[in-house]
């Protein structure tokens, strides 16, 4: 590396450090400029001119939108203008056009790369007693996300065929890999909700880089698939899944390990799936040895075959912790408001998704640090409490880098209840307002009101 190249890189690094520490408005980005993440942020940061909205400020404002109740661009721009005045700078324009253009210039690779790196570091640095038997457990689950009804979004993420044109909304499917110990998102993949290659299993095949040899994948019965189990087992990754209801389990067969606990062989499906080549199909073994066990009225499938090392009660207790992925997705979609994306184009919606996940990992990073200081498990801390405390902390010009001891102490004060086996009905008690459903395009409904008035 010549002297000029090294000098340019040093100047680039100093600009990032200077921008991150210059004002409290980018405090969201300050957490990402820790010594462990600064090198990654520097490598992913695009070359840019000094604008009103450089990448560090834009990303910080974008993340802040994901954590606040009012996530409008106007609110973000107003806050940045007010902060500049408080710092003795000119306010600049409060129009949102410049900020929206800056969001478009923000590289997707930068946002997704920072998300994966923060998740990986959080998972790798989890304390031993946070893990399960010293092993890293990865939770896998999928969900659906809606977005604005525009032509571009409809072309990429069409609405369900059961809905009439102009009535429904574009719908995307999302599959995430989440660390059980820290709650951090390790990787994610999104695709249309329906159509060829849009199943959760297809998305999982794109997320293989999130797993390492020695990991344990924990998922529900939907992922109990021969090719999924065989692929992960070949990579040195164990699985714990609930058995599919369609598969017959007979504990009188196979090698008995105890009461309702045995080893059996699964035969490879007779037909090659459409998504797989004949060579790939041939490479899979003809039989796969797995362990089936029944506990707490559930049948589990696992590749952890040594019953003397891992009892079926331990497997049942581990599977009960799978519910954490449901809570994590609820935190992302409901607490943070990602249930409906807000952008008008598919490219910006994908970028918004990764910004939400990066902001989520930022909160998980604060929770992990608070849990480490307090000597507790990160899963025992309240995510919503941390979001509320962090947003109020930043609004008042406080910094996580200088006032961290007080911040972490306050985060650790609010604990979630220990409610094993909790069951809640998926129903609403409060009745909605008595408005009929909009079952025709909105423009057509307006014309009908103009002609005939309200019903």
Q: Considering only CA atoms, which of 71, 93, 95 is closest in space to residue 84?
A: 93
Of the candidates 368, 359, 370, 398, which has an alpha carbon nearest to the alpha carbon of residue 32?
A: 359
Count the neighbouring beta carbons within 10 Å of the beta carbon of residue 10. 10
Angle at 357 between CA 36 and CA 338, to 5 degrees: 160
Q: Which residue has the tokens 């400029």?
A: 33
DSSP 6-53: HHHHHHHHHHHHHHHHH-GGGHHHHGGGSHHHHHHHHHHPPP----SS
pLDDT at residue 400, as a whole number = 65
Inter-residue contact 167 to 439 (CB < 8 Å): yes
pLDDT digits (tens, 9 = 90+) for 330-358: 999 999 999 999 999 999 999 999 999 99
Coil, helix or strand at residue 391: helix
The CA-atom distances, in angstroms, between 270 and each of 67, 226, 237, 263, 274 are: 49, 11, 25, 22, 13
What separation in angstroms does the CA of 129 have from each of 284, 293, 339, 375? 36, 26, 33, 10
Please count the other Cβ atoms lying within 10 Å of the Cβ belonging to residue 262.
21
201: closest CA among 220, 178, 180?
A: 220
Res 23: pLDDT: 41
CA atoms of 42 and 357, how far apart (whole Å): 20
- Helix H or strand E encompassing 323: helix 323-330
pTM (two decimals): 0.88
For residue range 379-438, list pLDDT tens digits in order.
999 999 999 999 888 877 777 666 678 888 999 998 887 777 777 788 888 888 888 888
pLDDT computed for residue 17 by the predictor: 47
Helix (H, G, I), strand (E, B) or coil at 262: strand
Residues 140 and 223 sit within 8 Å (Cβ to Cβ) = yes
Q: What is the pLDDT along the chain (455 residues), one digit of tens a residue?
A: 566 656 555 555 554 444 444 444 455 555 655 666 666 666 677 666 667 888 888 888 898 888 888 889 999 999 888 888 887 888 888 999 999 999 999 999 989 999 999 999 899 989 999 999 999 999 999 999 999 999 999 999 999 888 888 888 999 999 999 999 999 999 999 999 988 888 999 999 999 999 999 999 999 999 999 999 999 999 999 999 999 877 889 999 999 999 999 999 999 999 999 899 999 999 999 999 999 999 988 999 999 999 999 999 999 999 999 999 999 999 999 999 999 999 999 999 999 999 999 999 999 999 998 999 999 999 999 999 999 999 888 877 777 666 678 888 999 998 887 777 777 788 888 888 888 888 888 889 999 999 988 87
The span from the first CA to the last CA of the chain, in angstroms, equals 74
Domains and CATH numbers, the chain: 3-106 (no CATH), 114-326 (3.90.350.10)
| 338 within 8 A of 144, measured Cβ to Cβ | no
Q: How is 99-141 classified by DSSP, letter by letter? A: HHHHHHHS-HHHHHHHHHHHHHHHHHT--GGGSBTTB-EEEEE
pLDDT recorded at residue 198: 86
Cα separation values, 37 from 112, 259, 367, Å: 14, 50, 17
Query: Among all chains, which residue has been given the structure tokens 């918004």?
Result: 352
């Amino acid at each position: 590396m010549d002297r000029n190249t090294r000098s340019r890189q040093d100047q680039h690094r100093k600009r990032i450090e200077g921008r991150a520490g210059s004002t409290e408005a980018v405090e969201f980005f300050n957490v990402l400029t820790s010594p462990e993440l600064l090198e990654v942020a520097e490598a992913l940061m695009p070359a840019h001119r000094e604008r009103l909205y450089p990448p560090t400020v834009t990303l910080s404002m974008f993340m802040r939108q994901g954590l606040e109740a009012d996530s409008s661009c106007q609110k973000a721009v107003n806050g940045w203008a007010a902060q500049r005045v408080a710092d003795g700078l000119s306010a600049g324009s409060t129009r949102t056009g410049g900020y929206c253009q800056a969001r478009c210039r923000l590289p997707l690779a930068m946002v997704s790369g920072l998300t994966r790196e923060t998740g990986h570091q959080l998972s790798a640095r989890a304390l031993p007693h946070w893990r399960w038997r010293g092993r890293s457990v990865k939770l896998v689950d999928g969900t659906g996300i809606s977005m604005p009804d525009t032509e571009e979004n409809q072309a990429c993420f069409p609405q369900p065929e059961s809905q009439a044109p102009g009535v429904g909304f574009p719908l995307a499917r999302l599959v995430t890999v989440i660390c059980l110990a820290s709650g951090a998102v390790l990787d994610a993949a999104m695709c249309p909700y329906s159509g060829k290659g849009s199943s959760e299993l297809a998305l999982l095949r794109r997320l293989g880089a999130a797993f390492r040899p020695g990991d344990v994948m924990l998922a529900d019965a939907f992922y109990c698939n021969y090719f999924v189990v065989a692929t992960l087992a070949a990579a040195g990754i164990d699985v714990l899944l609930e058995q599919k209801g369609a598969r017959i389990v007979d504990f009188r067969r196979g090698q008995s390990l105890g009461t309702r606990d045995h080893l059996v062989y699964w035969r490879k499906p007779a037909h090659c799936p459409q998504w797989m080549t004949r060579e790939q199909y041939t490479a899979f073994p003809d039989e796969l040895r797995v362990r089936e066990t029944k506990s707490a009225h559930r049948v589990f499938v696992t590749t952890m075959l040594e019953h003397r090392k891992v009892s079926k009660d331990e497997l049942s207790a581990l599977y009960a912790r799978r519910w954490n992925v449901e809570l994590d997705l609820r935190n992302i979609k409901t607490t943070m408001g990602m249930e409906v994306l807000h952008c008008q184009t598919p490219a910006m919606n994908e970028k918004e998704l990764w910004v939400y996940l990066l902001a989520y990992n930022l909160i998980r990073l604060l929770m992990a640090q608070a849990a480490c200081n307090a000597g507790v498990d990160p899963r025992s801390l309240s995510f919503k409490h941390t979001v509320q405390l962090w947003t109020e902390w930043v609004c008042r010009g406080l910094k996580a880098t200088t006032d961290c001891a007080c911040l972490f102490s306050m985060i650790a004060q609010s604990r979630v209840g220990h409610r094993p086996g909790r069951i809640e009905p998926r129903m609403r008690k409060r009745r909605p307002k008595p408005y009929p459903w909009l079952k025709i395009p909105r423009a057509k409904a307006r014309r009908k009101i103009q002609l005939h008035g309200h019903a």
